[in-house]
């Protein structure tokens, strides 16, 4: 089912969450908004923001704008492109979405819906544009798993090509180090799970140890200020050589 098929212009939900590639989802969302009669340009009731990490201040600002009376008397639309959410920001959004504001609609685009707490996630109409892992990430993960530890560490050093300053700019970076690392971990986990299924049961416990480690690394990667390179190196060490 396509993104458009999930959107009903006659029965708009107050908060949509789109999971997938920003550059593919955004044009579809913008076209849909225009088709329901909302002007994109020179419209004080339309707001589009880009942010890597949504802070509590930004969430409070969004709520303050959302509760203001419409300037045009029509719908108020917010399009938010975001990679990660602070715990406190999620609390603000949760409270706002528990009591939807009539005529106000949010279209949030992210590449990792599971980064949201379950209570907040349940308040959204979730549309996953694509749950399939990219062929490039699968191929990289396959090579990574087969490498020696030394080669894995060299691979990570080359993989981390963006500085921490660039990574933390208040702009959504589809190809940011942190976002790519999360996708890379997903590909590694997918391949390891596939291998576990094919293995004898006696090897299951050992494999689950380092898969559990991947779970923990994923959670740390979602936190602001976490050291991406160090976390990926810990994965390289945790996975036994193959």
Model confidence pLDDT, tens digit, residues 146-191: 999 999 999 999 888 754 444 445 445 555 777 778 888 888 888 8
Percent of residues, the chain, with pLDDT higher than 90: 43
Residues 152, 227: one domain?
yes
Angstrom distances, CA of residue 90 to CA of 66, 184, 208: 16, 25, 30
Q: What is the domain-level CATH number for residue 91?
A: 3.40.50.300
Domain identity same for 123 and 14: yes
In the predicted model, what is the mean pLDDT of the chain?
Answer: 83
pLDDT for the residue 164: 44
**Sign for the pseudo-dihedral over CA of 109, 111, 117, 119:** positive
122, 144: one domain? no
3-state secondary structure of 174: coil
pLDDT in tens, 169-180: 544 555 577 777
Per residue in 66-79, pLDDT (tens digit) is 999 999 888 999 99
Identify the domain boundary among 93, 128, 163.
128
Which residue range is the domain that position 207 belongs to? 135-238
Whether residues 97 and 169 fall in one domain: no
Final residue in a domain of this structure, among 81, 113, 128: 128
Number of domains making up the chain:
2
Nearest CA-CA partner of 125 in 111, 101, 108, 104: 108
User: Average pLDDT of 115-138?
Assistant: 80
State the pLDDT at residue 212.
82
Q: Please check whether residues 179 and 98 belong to one and the same domain.
A: no
Statement to judge: residues 147 and 193 lie in one domain: yes
Domain final residue, candidates 78, 97, 128: 128
Judge if pTM exceeds 0.85.
no
Rounded to an integer, the average pLDDT of 47-62 is: 94
91 and 8 in one domain?
A: yes
């Amino acid at each position: 089912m396509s993104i458009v098929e999930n959107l009903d212009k006659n029965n708009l939900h107050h908060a949509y969450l789109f999971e997938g590639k920003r550059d593919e989802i955004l044009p579809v969302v913008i076209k849909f908004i225009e088709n329901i009669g909302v002007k994109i340009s020179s419209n004080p009731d339309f707001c589009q923001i880009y942010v890597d990490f949504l802070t509590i201040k930004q969430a409070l600002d969004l709520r303050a704008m959302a509760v203001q009376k419409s300037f045009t008397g029509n719908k108020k639309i917010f399009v938010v492109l975001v990679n990660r959410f602070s715990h406190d920001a999620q609390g603000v959004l949760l409270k706002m979405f528990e009591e939807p504001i009539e005529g106000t609609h949010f279209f949030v685009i992210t590449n990792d819906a599971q980064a949201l707490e379950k209570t907040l996630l349940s308040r959204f109409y979730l549309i996953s544009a694509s749950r399939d892992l990219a062929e490039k990430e699968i191929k990289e993960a396959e090579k990574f798993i087969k490498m020696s530890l030394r080669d894995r560490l060299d691979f990570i050093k080359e993989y981390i090509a963006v500085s921490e300053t660039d990574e933390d700019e208040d702009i959504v970076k589809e190809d940011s180090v942190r976002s790519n690392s999360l996708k890379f971990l997903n590909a590694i986990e997918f391949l390891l799970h596939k291998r576990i299924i094919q293995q004898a049961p006696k090897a299951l416990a050992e494999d689950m140890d380092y898969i559990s480690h991947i779970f923990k690394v994923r959670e740390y990667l979602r936190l602001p200020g976490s050291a991406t390179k160090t976390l990926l190196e810990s994965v390289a060490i945790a996975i036994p050589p193959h």
